[in-house]
Homo-oligomer: A and B are copies of this chain.
């Protein structure tokens, strides 16, 4: 347990005062060139790194950005996370990750954890911040916190005026519907899974119905099945529900890649083929889309851009630079094998 070398040791060996060492460390003031070189030499010699805790104690700065996701096992979130991490690292920040599993109590507790840990910014991904009707108590808490710590939400958190990064869900559905309707064989389109209490899903459904009309296609309520769960079983159950009817749809829209897996399983169990009998299109474009069989045609975002935008916004907020209150991430379509070709 070797004693840690501190700024005092460095100062002593370099023959200067600790303030001088501090100055070369922060670069906040001019120092005599020769002394600077000597100090840097000693710092290097001991591979000295200033104690972040002590530094943070002064300016309430931890060098940590807190991320609260719904569930990092979801490939959408994990992919987003690693891209955030890369951008954060480039800026000298590290990430503290917490998972709420969309549990209200967890969200409250974990937010407190992040605050207590004095993170320099908080990024909220999924969970509460994608609910159509925000829990007002949660919104209040976030509003209070955001007065001292920048909070960025991925998804909208109504009742707060946090900066939010949003996927352009209207565009998502436009891409989906344009692609499906290009094929004249596709007449009956189903929407499987996802709950309308979730803002993004709600937008998807609303735009879905609007576009059906625009394309002069009929809307079948029995082919529009909601489900609280966004996992495989959620997709599976929803699709089973849809396939209860005598006739089946020509295409199905899935809320995400994971639930698409359940949809695929249901379709196969009903002895129907993808894409010959039913086309499946999903939202996400996570690595799951290429893992599944058939591989998924999906609409998704560039995660590099997405993560970069999130961190860039957080950093601006930390530096108190002006930022847009709302940033839209544009999606694009990736064609694979789950949709029938013209």
Contact mask for chain A residues 137-173; partner B; CB cutoff 8 A; 1 contact, 0 none: 0000000000110000000000000000000000000
Q: Which of A61-109 contact B (CB under 8 A)?
A: 62-64, 71-73, 75, 78-79, 81-82, 85, 89, 94-99
Q: Are A115 and B64 in contact (CB-based, < 8 A)?
A: no
Tell me the bound Cα distance from A218 to B72 in angstroms.
43
In the complex, the chain B residue whose C-beta lies closest to that of A149 is B1
Q: How many copies does the complex hold?
A: 2
18 contacts between A and B (CB under 8 A): A1-B147, A49-B112, A49-B116, A50-B116, A52-B116, A52-B118, A53-B57, A63-B117, A64-B96, A73-B78, A82-B99, A85-B99, A94-B98, A94-B117, A95-B98, A258-B291, A261-B291, A261-B292
Known: A115-B49, A118-B51, A293-B265. A148 touches B71 (CB 8 A): no
Closest chain B CB from A317 CB (angstroms)? 13
- Find A56's partner among B4, B49, B53 (CB 8 Å cutoff): B53
Instruction: Please give, as numbers and ranges, the residues of chain B lying within 8 Å of A62 by CB-CB distance.
Output: 53
Contact-size category for A: 35 or more
In the complex, the chain B residue whose C-beta lies closest to that of A86 is B99
Q: Which 6 pairs show the lowest CB-CB distances between chains A and B?
A: A261-B291, A49-B116, A97-B97, A73-B78, A53-B56, A53-B57
Q: Are B73 and A117 in contact (CB-based, < 8 A)?
A: no
Instruction: Please give, as numbers and ranges, the residues of chain B lying within 8 Å of A79 by CB-CB distance.
Output: 73
A232 close to chain B: CB less than 8 A: yes
A2 close to chain B: CB less than 8 A: yes
